[in-house]
Amino acid sequence: MARTLSEVVYVDGVRTAFGRAGESGLFWKTRADDMGVKVVRELLRRNPQLPPERIDDVVFAATAQVGDQGLTLGRDVALLAGLPKTVPGFAVDRMCAGALTATTAGAGEIAMGAADVVLVGGVEHMGHHPMGEDVDFNPRFVSERIVDESAGVMGATAENLHDAFPHLTKEAADTYAVASQQKAAKAWDDGVMDEIVVPMSVFTDEGWTVAARDEFLRPDTTLEALAELRTPFRAGGRVTAGNSAGLTDGATAALIASESAAEELGLEPTMRLAGFAYAGVEPELMGLGPVPATSKVLERAGITIDDVGLFELNEPFAVQVLTWCDGVGVEPDDPRLNPYGGAIACGHPLAATGVRLMAQLARGFSERPDVRYGLTALCIGMGMGAAVLWENLRNGHG
């Protein structure tokens, strides 16, 4: 029988501070699933009009689904957060697009009428679970030339982008990185992140402290300093620690709902899901992924890049952002792009990042009621890209 799909809206989103991965990082002695619990509880605290029993599903992402982030995270986090045992949950993995995939999966449940309210998010404890540590990379990938050997090393794929697009120079990447740091510092100074980042008590070698600020913020970064950094992925290369995102621990969570349920429960949505797309590219050029994903979602929505007033793009490497800019026709210094900085400044805890992008876009919408559409997009390991299009409910078109 014919069905009428439900509109999906974004209500609220939060994250922990993003800590440096490893023994010196803020979250070294904190469990990954407890970080997920913290952001879920904060969403419930911030939205007291939502009865916990009205949550129909909890979808959580992790790239390394082992150890303290390996027990069907959605259900694990739901139980630990004190949600009723009647609330189910599950885990997803699309590497860096984990939280975005959790969002689109939950949105599918809502659109089909299988759910009214869904909690979505992601967590990555890269200190406990370094990238690729528990992965058995099938030797046939290389022996049968299915992918280039560099596809499994993200920094190597970034160097490949510089090779493929030589006009995207190291100097351009460093310039972009400095701007990201400056924009992130301003966002913290202006109180933007105070509305998104949830302080969390953590235990360290020095005792208890509060993780309240991203550890990779370097507001004093200069082009001169970046020019001196070594290139770890290739001798004489162009990718450095300064124009890349640091290895990071962090968790994010967001509340999405059907438009009718949000109205019934007195929730105040800020964005409507307007469309999404995933795309594949050559794995060794994985940073290209957001370009076809962006083109696909815009074409399906019947709009152009000029109709989009804000972009929240991930920044695993500056060259990846430059490649997207080059591919879709947006200047790297366009004020629509990452107005609060990106992962080069705050870090990139893989599967958690998507909701960070959503939360920052929602904040951007609140400051820019003239903007109708915004885009959250990122690249994905093994050659993929994701793009999610949102409509600003404060714009007057909702």
pLDDT per residue as tens digits for the range 158-171: 999 999 999 999 99
Q: Do β-strands 248-258 and 8-16 pair in parallel, antiparallel, or remain unpaired?
A: antiparallel
Please state, in angstroms and rounded to a whole number, the distance separating the CA atoms of residues 219 and 309.
26
Q: What is the CA angle 19-12-260, rounded to 5?
A: 155
Q: For residue range 63-92, list pLDDT tens digits in order.
A: 999 999 999 999 999 999 999 999 999 999
pLDDT of residue 73: 97
**Does 191 have pLDDT greater than 80?**
yes
**Does 1 have pLDDT greater than 80?**
no
pLDDT of residue 29: 98
What rounded mean pLDDT belongs to the chain? 96
Please state, in angstroms and rounded to a whole number, the distance separating the CA atoms of residues 27 and 200.
10
Beta carbons within 8 Å of 273's beta carbon, 6+ residues apart: 7, 8, 9, 10, 107, 256, 388, 389, 390, 391
Catalytic residues: 96, 348, 379
Q: Region 190-206: what's the mean pLDDT?
A: 96
pLDDT of residue 152: 86
Q: For residue range 208-257, list pLDDT tens digits in order.
A: 999 999 999 999 999 999 999 999 999 999 999 999 999 999 999 999 99
pLDDT of residue 134: 81
**Does 23 have pLDDT greater than 80?**
yes
Q: Give 204-230 as a DSSP string.
A: ETTEEEEE-S-TT--TT--HHHHHTS-
Please state, in angstroms and rounded to a whole number, the distance separating the CA atoms of residues 291 and 246.
23
Q: What is the CB-side half-sphere exposure of residue 70 using CA atoms within 13 A?
A: 8
In 10 A of CB 99, how many CB atoms? 37
pLDDT of residue 394: 87
Secondary-structure class of domain 146-191+274-389 per CATH: alpha beta
Q: Region 31-39: what's the mean pLDDT?
A: 98
Please state, in angstroms and rounded to a whole number, the distance separating the CA atoms of residues 331 and 393.
26
Domain ranges of the chain: 146-191+274-389
Please state, in angstroms and rounded to a whole number, the distance separating the CA atoms of residues 386 and 168.
22
Task: Name which residue leads in pLDDT, 132 or 123.
Answer: 123
In 10 A of CB 275, how many CB atoms? 20
pLDDT of residue 397: 58
3-state secondary structure of 346: helix
pLDDT of residue 132: 84
Q: For residue range 300-311, list pLDDT tens digits in order.
A: 999 999 999 999
With left for phi above 0 and alpha for psi between -120 and 50, is residue 302 left, alpha or beta?
Answer: left
pLDDT of residue 398: 52
Q: Region 319-339: what's the mean pLDDT?
A: 98
